[in-house]
């Protein structure tokens, strides 16, 4: 649209100059004006929408609901095309919010979103290009405060942070969708608690870890005690079996066998006599001779 107006102005200027200075612009003066106007009109009839954007068409203040996709388009030269990004964008919020106990907690939260292509024209018509400041950021801050006030500070510091991020997502998803914005994800990047609260939580977590460690040690000691009991029972059973199997006749027989083997040996230097219990008594011959 602006290019057409500029072309008309330049055409009128050239036609005026051509009529006043024929030596500079020989021929018919209106020819130069028409040529310039057609050149600008041709340029205005071609719209280029870059990658990751859609083109919103407006004509004399009226917004057309149909948007142009990426690429080159032939349009009415009087139509203006405003490019709007449909790529993923981020809104960062650094907020000091109250917890359920009334403690002030500092949060750093990121919100990932993108413009719904089919609703880009309506968003442009109702809000404009500053939709992130006009709609998104205020709604984001309000939702963060509304969710954190329902939770204690320790929930923000421990595993409850995923639940909080999920609640923020649920509360924001519908209002943003009504505006033509698609919420992708909410990320809790950093949480800062009051120093006293943070120290107390760390001490509690350390105590819980120590208690779990002691439970593991006790379980290990009980297993070791059970192992030793089973081992002792096995040794006791073995000794009972051996003691039951060894009798006095067996010991006498083993002594006689040993005596016979020593007697048949050529290098044996022993003297064999009967013991008090009837078993063979083996003495060194050299010791006996002394």
Per-residue pLDDT reduced to its tens digit, 217-235 = 888 888 888 888 888 888 8
Share of the chain above pLDDT 70, in %: 62
Under a CB-based contact definition with an 8 Å cutoff, are residues 188 and 159 in contact? Answer: no
Same domain, 181 and 107: yes
The continuous run of DSSP H or E covering 232 comes out as helix 195-245
Tell whether the model's pLDDT for residue 18 goes beyond 80: no
Closest by alpha carbon to 137, among 91, 197, 78?
91
Question: What domain range is 256 assigned to?
Answer: 248-289
CATH number at residue 163: 3.30.479.30
> How many folded domains does the chain comprise?
3
The pLDDT score that the predictor gives to residue 271 is: 47
Residue 98 domain-assigned (yes or no): yes
What's the pLDDT tens digit per position in 96-132? Answer: 877 777 777 888 899 999 999 999 999 999 999 999 8
For residue 65, give both structure tokens: 């609901």
Domain endpoint, select from 36, 64, 83: 83
Residue 20 domain-assigned (yes or no): yes
Query: CA neighbours within 13 Å on the CB side: how many for 61?
Result: 0
Tell whether the model's pLDDT for residue 29 goes beyond 60: no
For residue 171, give both structure tokens: 């509360």
Does residue 168 or residue 277 have the better pLDDT? 168
Rounded Cα distance, 25 and 28, in Å: 8
Same domain, 158 and 77: no
Same domain, 194 and 95: yes
What is the SS3 assignment for 70-137?
A: CEEEECCCCCEEEEEECCCEEEEEEEEEECCCCCEEEEEEEEEEEECHHHHHHHHHHCCCCHHHHHHH
Residue 238 domain-assigned (yes or no): no
Domain endpoint, select from 50, 83, 116: 83
Residue 123 domain-assigned (yes or no): yes
Domain endpoint, select from 27, 51, 83: 83
> Residues 44-70: what's their mean pLDDT?
88
Residue 279 domain-assigned (yes or no): yes
Same domain, 140 and 191: yes
Residue 210 domain-assigned (yes or no): no
Confidence of residue 287 (pLDDT cuts 50, 70, 90): very low
Same domain, 75 and 95: no
Under a CB-based contact definition with an 8 Å cutoff, are residues 130 and 87 in contact? Answer: no
Closest by alpha carbon to 86, among 48, 38, 124?
124
Rounded Cα distance, 199 and 206, in Å: 10
Burial class (CB in 10 A: 0-12, 13-18, 19+), 223: exposed
Same domain, 13 and 69: yes
Same domain, 100 and 192: yes
Same domain, 77 and 121: no
Residue 221 domain-assigned (yes or no): no
Same domain, 68 and 95: no
Cross-strand bridge partners of residue 166 = none
Same domain, 127 and 154: yes
Residue 273 domain-assigned (yes or no): yes
- Other Cβ atoms less than 10 A from the Cβ of 12: the count is 13
Same domain, 185 and 283: no
Same domain, 150 and 78: no
Tell whether the model's pLDDT for residue 169 goes beyond 80: yes
The pLDDT score that the predictor gives to residue 228 is: 84
């Amino acid at each position: 649209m602006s290019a057409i107006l500029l072309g008309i102005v330049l055409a009128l200027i050239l036609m005026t100059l051509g009529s006043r200075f024929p030596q500079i612009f020989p021929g018919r003066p209106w020819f130069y004006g028409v040529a310039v106007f057609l050149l600008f009109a041709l340029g205005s009839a071609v719209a280029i929408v870059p990658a990751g954007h859609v083109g919103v068409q407006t004509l004399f203040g009226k917004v057309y609901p149909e948007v142009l996709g990426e690429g080159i388009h032939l349009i009415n030269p009087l139509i203006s095309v405003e490019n709007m990004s449909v790529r993923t964008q981020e809104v960062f919020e650094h907020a000091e919010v109250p917890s359920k106990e009334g403690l002030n907690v500092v949060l750093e939260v990121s919100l990932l979103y993108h413009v719904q292509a089919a609703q880009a024209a309506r968003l442009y018509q109702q809000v404009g290009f500053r939709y992130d400041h006009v709609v998104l950021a205020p709604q984001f801050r309000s939702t963060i405060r509304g969710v954190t006030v329902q939770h204690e500070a320790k929930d923000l510091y421990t595993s409850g942070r995923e639940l909080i991020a999920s609640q923020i997502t649920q509360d924001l998803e519908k209002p943003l969708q009504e505006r033509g914005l698609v919420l992708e994800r909410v990320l809790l990047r950093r949480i800062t608690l009051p120093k006293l609260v943070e120290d107390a939580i760390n001490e509690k977590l350390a105590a819980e870890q120590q208690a779990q460690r002691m439970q593991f040690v006790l379980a290990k000691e009980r297993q070791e005690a059970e192992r030793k009991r089973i081992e002792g029972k096995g040794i006791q059973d073995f000794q009972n079996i051996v003691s039951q199997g060894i009798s006095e006749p067996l010991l006498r027989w083993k002594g006689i066998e040993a005596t016979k083997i020593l007697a048949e040996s050529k290098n044996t230097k022993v003297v064999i006599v009967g013991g008090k219990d009837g078993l063979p008594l083996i003495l060194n011959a050299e010791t006996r001779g002394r």
